[in-house]
Amino acid sequence: MEEISIGPPEPRDYTDWRLLYEGYARFYKMPMNDAIAGTVWGWLLNPAHELEALLARAGDGRVVGLAHFRPMPRPLTGTTAGFLDDLFVEPRLRGRRVADRLIEAMADLARARGWTLIRWLTGDDNYRARGVYDRHAMRTMWITYQMDLPPRR
């Protein structure tokens, strides 16, 4: 297995990150363009923005996995948790525990920050990812709702 290191994004990572993020968007059938990618990348490099990332890098420095996350207040407990928004690994490296390494690194960071848990969502039919998630977390029985809010005219 290739050596994998985990760390925050650096400006030089943009091209590799963008390819992975486009793959992630394609998987979820979401549009991706320069404006969206540029906005998210700007958030990730801005220490004042709540969205953060950990990137998995191969031995040659190439970015092969991403995890985007943010703090999430938990009003009923008066604590803060982490919310894992996006997790994606280069397809040719799947099955080599790159996603596990990203989740473990995020868990280490969450513990250091005093977060009480990490929560994330995935598609019910995302069986391969669910196999990874089942190694690290407990599936909850919560049902998710979404209210789309088109702009007012």
Q: Is 78 a residue whose pLDDT tops 90?
A: yes
Give the residue among 32, 31, 28 at the shortest CA–CA distance from 124.
28
pLDDT at 131: 85
What is the pTM assigned to this prediction?
Answer: 0.92
Averaged pLDDT for residues 6-28: 97
CB within 8 Å of 8: residues ≥ 6 apart: 52, 53, 54, 55
DSSP per-residue codes, 45-105: H-TTSS-EEEEEEETTS-EEEEEEEEEEEETTTTEEEEEEEEEEE-GGGTTSSHHHHHHHH
Q: Is 97 a residue whose pLDDT tops 60?
A: yes
Three-class SS state of 8:
coil
Q: Which domains does the chain have, with CATH numbers?
A: 4-136 (3.40.630.30)
Q: Is 1 a residue whose pLDDT tops 70?
A: no
Q: Is 2 a residue whose pLDDT tops 80?
A: no
pLDDT in tens, 108-119: 999 999 999 999
